[in-house]
Amino acid sequence: MNAVSAPLALLAELTHRCPLSCAYCSNPLQLAQVASELDTESWARVFREAAELGCLQLHLSGGEPLLRRDLVPLVEAAVEAGLYTNLITAAVTLDAKRIAALREAGLDHVQISVQDAEAGRADAQAGFPGGHVRKLAAAALVREAGLPLTINAVVHRRNLPSLPGLIALAEAAGAERLEVAHVQYYGWALANRDALLPDRAMLDRATEQVEAARARLGGRMVIDYVVPDYHATRPKPCMGGWGRRFIVVNPAGRVLPCHAAESLPGLDFPNVRETSLAEAWMGSDAFNRFRGTGWMPAPCRGCALAEADWGGCRCQAYALTGEIDATDPACSLSPHHGVLADARAGAGDDAPLVHRAQAR
């Protein structure tokens, strides 16, 4: 494999600890232990190596990155490395002093998640009483600090009726950007799929509402929209292709092509404790395993779209078919496409919801 292109962005999962316990959490079912978390100097080294490798953006994520006591020095290290630094937070523990220190450190942007437009429902979703009000206060603090603000709303069967309210919330908060992201079914979300997956009519209504808001808010608020591929006929080019644009480092230092990749069996992902980021990206078998199109079986092999969607998502293909090389069942050409129809039929308002566990 030659001509591996450099990654554009590093997703740094600083911790898997989080005060919330959302049922659609994108963290793996096997959460990284607190004792295994990388220290400040290791992260600073990872940021420098990421910038040298060609990364331009850094997403400080989690879990809840604010639970890292060294978050301010970490932002300083990222900024010094020359990375455009985004903080992805639930924000229930963000106060004026912390946001001032983060701005001073050079933080570029804050993304705050909300679970619903109405406080009671939002707090029930997050498993954190009083959380929603704190988030709105935190959003105001971000505004007052003069930092750009994104409101992130993960949407699903249970909160889609609140979508107009979520759009209004982002407007009222003065956000430059709103991310409306339908749940993607990995980890905790996959375990809760029956309770979270919307039907086609709900999805179409949401898409119409987003389109209308985009037309109304053009030039004021950008709306990014992520659709659920369980209603698709072509798969998403997950992460822009395996090992092509994104590099993820998890709390324990493991280097991954996406945050769910550890769910795949038989891949030995490198760790920054033992190797450089460049070596992990360029040289590791795990990163090279699904690069390009050579690994693809039919119907991906020879498909005109092979380099458009890169065979879809490896984690989803494995989760739904048990084979890591299989075409993503989101593709109608996949022999397993029917499992998505089965999943849609299995979803309902009465399905139970299991909240994510806490990292220890």
Partner 1 sequence: MTPATVPALRRGVRLRQDAARDRWVVMAPERMLVPDETALAVLRLVDGTRSLGEITAELARAYAAPEAVIAEDVAALLVDLSDKGLVSLS
Q: Which residues are annotated as a binding site for [4Fe-4S] cluster?
A: 18, 22, 25
> Does 226 participate in binding partner 1 (rule CB under 8 A)?
no
What is the total count of residues that contact partner 1 (CB under 8 A)?
A: 25
Q: Within 296-325, which residues bind partner 1 (CB under 8 A)?
A: none
Question: Smallest distance from the beta carbon of 108 to partner 1, in angstroms?
Answer: 6
Are 330 and 321 contacting, i.e. CB atoms less than 8 angstroms apart?
A: no
Asked if 193 and 347 count as a contact pair (C-beta separation under 8 A), the reply is: yes
Q: Does 252 bind partner 1 (CB under 8 A)?
A: no
Distance between CA 151 and CA 165 in Å, rounded?
13
Report in angstroms how near the CB of residue 179 gets to partner 1 at its nearest: 8
Binding mask 55-94 for partner 1 (x = CB under 8 A): -xx-x------------------------x-x--------
Close Cβ partners of 263 (under 8 Å, ≥ 6 residues apart): 28, 29, 186, 187, 315, 318, 319
Does position 240 bind partner 1 by CB under 8 A?
Answer: no
CA distance 105 to 65: 15
Q: Which is nearer to partner 1, 45 or 177 (CB)?
A: 177
- Could you say which of 72, 137, 222, 306 contacts partner 1 (CB under 8 A)? 222
Q: How many residues does the chain have?
A: 360
Rank residues 152 and 159 by Cβ distance to partner 1 and give the closer one.
Answer: 152
Q: Which of 39, 97, 201, 219 binds partner 1 (CB under 8 A)?
A: 219
CB of 129 to partner 1, least distance (A): 30
Residue 325, phi-psi category: left (phi > 0), alpha (psi -120 to 50), beta (remainder): alpha
Task: Give me the 176-195 binding string for partner 1, x by CB under 8 A, dash otherwise.
Answer: xx-x----------------
Nearer to partner 1, 53 or 137 (CB): 53
Q: Are 23 and 189 in contact (CB under 8 A)?
A: yes
> What would the x/- binding string for partner 1 be over residues 257 to 296, using CB under 8 A?
----------------------------------------
Phi, psi angle pair for 84, to nearest 5°: -75, 115
Provide DSSP, 219-276: TT-EEEEE--GGG-SS---GGGSTTTSEEEE-TT-BEESSTTGGGSTT----BTTTS-
| Residue 202 neighbours by CB under 8 Å, 6+ apart | 157, 160
Residue number, 127 or 148, with CB nearest to partner 1: 148
Q: How far is the CB of 118 from partner 1 (least distance, A)?
A: 26
Q: Which is nearer to partner 1, 240 or 299 (CB)?
A: 240
Residues 6+ apart with CB under 8 A from 152: 88, 111, 112, 113, 114, 178, 179, 181
Residue closer to partner 1 by CB (options 20, 181) is 181
If we measure between CA atoms, which residue out of 259, 241, 242, 238 comes closest to residue 250? Answer: 259
Residues that bind partner 1 (CB under 8 A): 6, 8, 53-54, 56-57, 59, 84, 86, 108-109, 111, 146-148, 150, 176-177, 179, 218-222, 224
